[in-house]
């Protein structure tokens, strides 16, 4: 009897769903809803309804442009932290040495620094849970260290030279995430600012750095956007506003359902009037291209480097109640001369689109400007000097700098990929931090006198050999060593001071930076 009732119920459900499907089959939205309902209620095995809906959303977006995307609530949170300018946690920079968390730096005036945690400390337990020696993932460790502002993290710490474990109670707080990587005087009367991404705090960080450089009497400014993948359009607009004349167009957007919107400079608060060089490479995208396109089209400065990524699409965030989000392309953006710099794509062809940089390398575009070709139909002209510029594929620099493949060898790339460099650096810093701090009281002294010891280089090569990473021959090893030594010195500077000092070391071997310095100097 019970079996008969169940069978009848299932038959009724099947009939009802089938009837609703017939009623709604001319309406695409009803069709999608009914399909989901049918699968959830009638499919032979149980299904995860939430995942089913997420997969359907992803399936729809995959048939559109390469930049429309769906993100889970967890992915949205991680993405927002880098753009919103803060997260909540204990305020340490750390890395994993084997299976132990080692503090590299504490955030200045952050919660960990306030209670006395110092670089070199090992955090071995959080709230009575061991995190050392248990093969816990870095993501899981971060989850345990982070938490709402005001909550407590009870830490057990091992400090070199002190027996036993030291207890610390850290009250979590908001931890700033900076979008500027470096700012300093790179040459007499020439300032340098590197922007890592365009987030909510970028403009304030940029203005603070610019005003400091202006107070030091700069005539020229280098804005480094190498590897800057973009971020908020408005953040880029706000920065550009301080570089252009009042009334100059910065960018405009236009879409099928999104009316044209123009952004114009209003004269800024402390505008910079000197010479400008903007640095880009093949990974400079989106908001980076808005800035470099505006500077180029308004003939405000020079663009130095390699052709940028080519993302001329604007995404609108559409949030769901569970914290997940669609970033849907709603418009194209256009530089002041009318260029759309979006590179070609086929709807649904994300895999081919993702291979574009590899194809540029294979085709020689990263090594020679002559390998880059633009269609005459995409020709535009800058607004003051009427120089020829092109749309349809990124921002082509005024001064092309080829990628030097002899400097960054295959052996070096493999050492980096296998973490041989970072692991050897962690060990070196751990063993020598106190001695180095005592020997070099200032970065200027360190930069002038410090030389990477051969034992440090040997440790990197040994770490690589442990994973069967070896140079092809003596020639490849010889080509690798100069750049490797510079990188190791920069990593030591970073760990003793910060990213600002890292880039001060690395920029002296960066061909794009060096070219910008050369061109600006020639204009005096």
Choose between 33 and 448: higher pLDDT.
Answer: 448
pLDDT in tens, 351-401: 888 889 888 988 999 999 988 888 888 999 999 999 999 998 999 999 999
Task: State yes or no: pLDDT of 5 exceeds 50.
Answer: no
Residue with the two structure tokens 């400014």 = 221
What is the pLDDT at residue 18?
Answer: 54
pLDDT in tens, 485-522: 999 999 999 999 999 999 999 999 999 999 999 999 99
What is the pLDDT at residue 22?
Answer: 56
Average pLDDT over residues 460-469: 94
Task: State yes or no: pLDDT of 83 exceeds 70.
Answer: yes
Of the pLDDT bands very low, low, confident and very high (cuts 50, 70, 90), residue 421 is very high
Report residue 413 as tokens: 């790339």
Nearest CA-CA partner of 213 in 246, 180, 235, 236 = 180
Active site (catalytic) residues: 286, 311, 315
pLDDT in tens, 170-224: 999 998 889 999 999 999 999 999 999 999 999 999 999 999 999 999 999 999 9
Q: Which long-range contacts (CB under 8 A, 24 or more apart) does 180-184 make?
A: 180/205, 180/206, 180/209, 181/499, 181/500, 181/503, 182/224, 182/499, 182/500, 182/502, 182/503, 182/504, 183/209, 183/212, 183/213, 183/500, 184/500, 184/504
Report residue 102 as tokens: 């080692």
Highest-confidence segment of 18-22, 70-74, 423-427, 447-451 = 447-451
What is the pLDDT at residue 20?
Answer: 54
Average pLDDT over residues 67-77: 89
Decide: 341 and 310 in contact? Cβ < 8 Å.
yes
Nearest CA-CA partner of 236 in 203, 201, 281, 214 = 203
Of the pLDDT bands very low, low, confident and very high (cuts 50, 70, 90), residue 39 is confident
Distance CA 189, CA 183 (A): 13
Sequence-distant (≥ 6) Cβ neighbours of residue 134 within 8 angstroms = 99
Distance CA 449, CA 440 (A): 9
The whole-angstrom distance between residue 411's C-alpha and the CA centroid of its chain comes to 25
Over the chain, what is the mean pLDDT? 90
136: number of Cβ within 10 Å: 18
Task: State yes or no: pLDDT of 70 exceeds 70.
Answer: yes
Assign 325 to helix, strand or coil.
strand
Q: Calculate the alpha carbon distances from 424 to 2, 277, 430, 461, 501 in Å.
A: 69, 36, 10, 9, 20
């Amino acid at each position: 009897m019970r079996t008969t009732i169940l069978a009848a119920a299932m038959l009724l459900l099947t009939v009802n769903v089938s009837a609703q499907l017939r009623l709604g089959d001319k309406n695409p939205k009803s069709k999608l809803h009914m399909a989901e309902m049918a699968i959830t209620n009638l499919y032979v095995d149980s299904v995860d309804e939430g995942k089913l809906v997420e997969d359907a959303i992803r399936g729809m977006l995959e048939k559109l442009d390469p930049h429309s995307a769906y993100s889970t609530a967890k992915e949205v949170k991680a993405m927002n932290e880098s753009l919103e300018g803060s997260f909540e946690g204990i305020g340490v920079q750390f890395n994993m040495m084997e299976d132990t968390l080692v503090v590299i730096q504490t955030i200045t005036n952050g919660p960990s620094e306030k209670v006395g945690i110092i670089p070199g400390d090992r955090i071995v337990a959080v709230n009575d849970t061991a995190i050392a020696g248990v093969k816990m993932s870095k993501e899981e460790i971060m989850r345990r260290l982070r938490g709402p502002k005001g909550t407590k993290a009870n830490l057990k710490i091992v400090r070199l030279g002190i027996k036993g474990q030291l207890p610390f109670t850290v009250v979590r707080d908001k931890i700033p995430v900076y979008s500027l990587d470096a700012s300093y005087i790179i040459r007499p009367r020439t300032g340098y600012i590197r922007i890592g991404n365009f987030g909510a705090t970028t403009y304030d960080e940029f203005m603070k750095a610019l005003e400091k450089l202006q107070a030091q009497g700069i005539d020229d400014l280098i804005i480094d956007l190498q590897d800057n993948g973009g971020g908020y359009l408005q953040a880029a607009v706000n920065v550009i506003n301080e570089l252009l004349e009042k009334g100059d167009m910065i960018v405009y957007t236009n879409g099928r359902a999104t009316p044209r919107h123009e952004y114009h400079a209003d004269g800024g608060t402390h505008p910079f009037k000197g010479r400008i060089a903007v640095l880009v490479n093949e990974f400079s995208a989106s908001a980076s291209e808005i800035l470099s396109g505006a500077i180029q089209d308004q003939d405000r400065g020079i663009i130095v480097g390699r052709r940028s990524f080519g993302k001329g699409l604007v995404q609108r965030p559409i949030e769901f109640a569970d914290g997940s989000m669609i970033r849907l392309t709603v418009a194209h953006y256009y530089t002041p001369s009318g260029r759309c710099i979006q590179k070609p794509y086929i709807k649904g062809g994300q895999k081919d689109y993702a291979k574009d940089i590899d194809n540029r390398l294979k085709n020689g575009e990263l090594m020679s400007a002559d390998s880059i070709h633009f269609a005459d139909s995409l020709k535009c002209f800058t607004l003051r000097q009427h120089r020829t510029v092109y749309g349809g594929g990124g921002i082509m620099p005024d001064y092309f700098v080829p990628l030097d493949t002899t400097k960054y060898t295959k052996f070096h790339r493999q050492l980096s990929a296998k973490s041989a460099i970072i692991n050897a650096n962690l060990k070196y810093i751990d063993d020598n931090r106190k001695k180095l701090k005592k020997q070099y009281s200032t970065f200027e002294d360190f930069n002038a006198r410090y030389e990477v010891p051969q034992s440090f280089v040997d440790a990197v090569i040994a770490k690589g050999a442990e994973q069967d990473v070896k140079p092809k021959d003596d020639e490849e090893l010889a080509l690798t060593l100069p750049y490797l030594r510079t990188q190791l010195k920069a990593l030591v500077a970073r760990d003793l001071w910060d990213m600002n000092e890292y880039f001060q070391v690395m920029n002296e071997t960066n061909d794009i930076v060096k070219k910008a310095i050369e061109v600006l100097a020639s204009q005096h």
